[in-house]
Amino acid sequence: MPNTLDTLSKFLEREKLPETYRAQARDSFIPFIEAIRPKLAAAGRVPVLGIHGSQGSGKSTLAEFIHWYLQEQGGLNVALLSLDDFYLSLAERQQLAAKRHPLLRTRGVPGTHDISLALETIATLRHIGAGERASLPRFDKACDDRAPESSWPQISGPVDLIVFEGWCVGATPQDEADLKLPINELERSEDSDAQWRTYVNSCLAAEYQDLFAELDYLLMLRAPDFNCVAAWRSEQEQKLAQRLAGNVKASALMDEAAILRFIQHYQRITTHCLNTLAKRADCVMALGTQREILNVAYREGS
């Protein structure tokens, strides 16, 4: 793709990215995309590229870059999906919290997504033909609820590639024995009987594995450790606050204390993935504390 690096400035400006991202794109992201394109083309169906990464790891930005590189620069028709966009509505999570456990009101963990909608969306994208259109679900984090369907973006068929990113994409369940001891204050004080984490784990073991089975290739952005995640998540909230400056939705944003509590909902599965997923992912990009890429490793045969 000639002139891609020359036009990258437009992408950096659009996404408000630092100049250092250009080097990452040149040295890691573009070589990765070019390395896996033949493998995706050989999938035998419209391929799904999964991107796993803890909160704030840069997975959403990378998904946007892949979309920009392959669609705007490469002429492919790329559908961009996030696991976050399949959260249950606020009303549905409130009902789930009343029925199962109060912690399920908080979006994020397995059990708080509409997996049927995700599977249906992927199936639709794989089969739409020329002249047909499909809607891409969207979730509004500022108001903690699913965006109205009238605002969902649409894509015309046929689709060449589906990019699906999310914090627990590709995750596997833990053994039951590993659920017994709490790993943070949230679990100790609000899930002392392990009912919440047991329910979350059972959901991950069931329908989420059906969803992850749709992936044709899995990339892992591997954080150094969980200690980085809270700081990265705070950065995300600050950026969202800047985008919503003066907007009434900004009142729904989290302060530092709320972020620290919120991130504890994710700690168990994030840590489990840091310990296990690298062995299963097709490619692992090891990140430093500033999200710099330290190493890119491909699984043998991937």
In a domain, 294, yes or no: no
In a domain, 235, yes or no: yes
| Under 8 Å between Cβ of 222 and 134 | no
Confidence of residue 1 (pLDDT cuts 50, 70, 90): very low
- Structure confidence by residue, pLDDT tens digits, 49-98: 999 999 899 999 999 999 999 998 889 999 999 999 999 999 999 999 99
In a domain, 292, yes or no: no
In a domain, 17, yes or no: yes
**What value does the mean pLDDT of the chain take?**
92
Q: What's the CATH code of the domain at 41? A: 3.40.50.300
In a domain, 175, yes or no: no
In a domain, 298, yes or no: no
Instruction: Give the global pTM.
Output: 0.92
The boundaries of the domain holding residue 120 are 4-170+180-287
- Structure confidence by residue, pLDDT tens digits, 257-291: 888 888 999 999 999 999 999 999 999 999 999 99
Confidence of residue 250 (pLDDT cuts 50, 70, 90): very low
The total of structural domains in the chain comes to 1
In a domain, 228, yes or no: yes
- Structure confidence by residue, pLDDT tens digits, 171-209: 999 999 999 999 999 999 999 999 999 999 999 999 999
In a domain, 297, yes or no: no
The closest alpha carbon to 285, from 15, 30, 74, 72, belongs to 30
